[in-house]
Structure 1
Amino acid sequence: MSEQDTGLRARLIDAGVELVNTEGAQALSLREIARQAGVSHGAPRRYFPTHLELLSAIARRGFAELADRAGQTMATTTAPGDPREQLAALSRAYLDFARTRRGMFELMFRHDLLESNQLGLRETSLPLFALLADLVTRARRHPSADSAPGTDQAPPAVVAAALWANLHGIAQLWLWGSLPLAAGLDDIEPLLQAALDAHLGPVRR
């Protein structure tokens, strides 16, 4: 691929990222992405054979931004040596990303994109999940840990997967307005702490 082609391909992805962040995933038609990028309506097809491939390339940018945010949040935590605090920071970054990048968050986990696995989209979350599982392992071994019933028997990857599912559900239901209404909350932090306690056990004082 020539330098010009590489630049135009990146421009189409940039246009899609801008659209999804400002107008939501529903705005990501090929025609609108092409218009935003300042190219002909047929140009995207020359670089992305299918619409799903272009959407997957846009979603990969979202996973990269989420990983960057998680790293920055964890680096600034007040207790960098405490794996549970690191895990809480990672979880906050995930929930904050869902809140501030709602369109991108929805796109990243669209079932048709994940099922098609264009550009290996499903695998893009694996490094972040590996970090989550590592933090779960270390948090369970930490002196302050008071494991929840059954978590000692479950492999770290299983506990990490359950925690991820819990966080994703919290994020989605919070965005829909269901959790604030049902729980009578205006802050998501108590739900995050409850999820950590449920999967890791309460902190031993």
Structure 2
Amino acid sequence: MNTAETAHWVNGLLPGEPEFHQVGAFKVAGYTLGDESVACSVDFGRVNTGLITEGGAETVEVRSEILCLARTPASVPGRAVGAAATMLLDAALALREAISQAQSPLPVPMHAHPGQLLPGVGIMANLPREGYSVVHGILADPRIWGPEIPYVREEAGQVSVEAPDEAGELARLTLPLQLILLTEAEFALAAQEGGDVLFQRMAEQGVDLLDFKR
């Protein structure tokens, strides 16, 4: 999908009227919902982080848009979304450059998929300067729509793109991916034990993920 198509899709998923902001290289839609807010990228789908899914004889390319929820003004999760998108873009470009230069060892890839840790993403978004205690991030399947995750499928040969993205020969799925911001202690647990253990502990302790000053 191009940016206009993605913005239309995202706007159909989230309530309220969006305000669009340019955050670095990315456009982000911000929604204010009472004392809560949601921010979602509308052009991160142009970034290829190397994900594919195989079902039977078919291989499908997977792209995503990043969303973040907070109990703050929408500009705060918006900056976090922009920082996460930038971090993933930089990692994809670095890996591509290393492969083209036949470098060894190759940089560790960062994929836009659940469980991917984003060290320092809150710092990139300048959150600590504003008194927020969340400084890192992890990507997760969003649950705000229940167990079913919305997606858009574009068939092979019908993928709509805009520069610098290029349509290949594969069908494409685009899905929302949630950015959850973490404190130092939460990030350390995720790095040591994995995202599943982190989320289980946070659920047991009743951690408010929307509280960026927890």
**Pair in the same fold by TM > 0.5:** no
Kindly indicate which of the two structures has a greater share of residues assigned to strand. Answer: 2
Bigger Rg over Cα: 1
Kindly indicate which of the two structures has a greater share of residues assigned to helix. Answer: 1
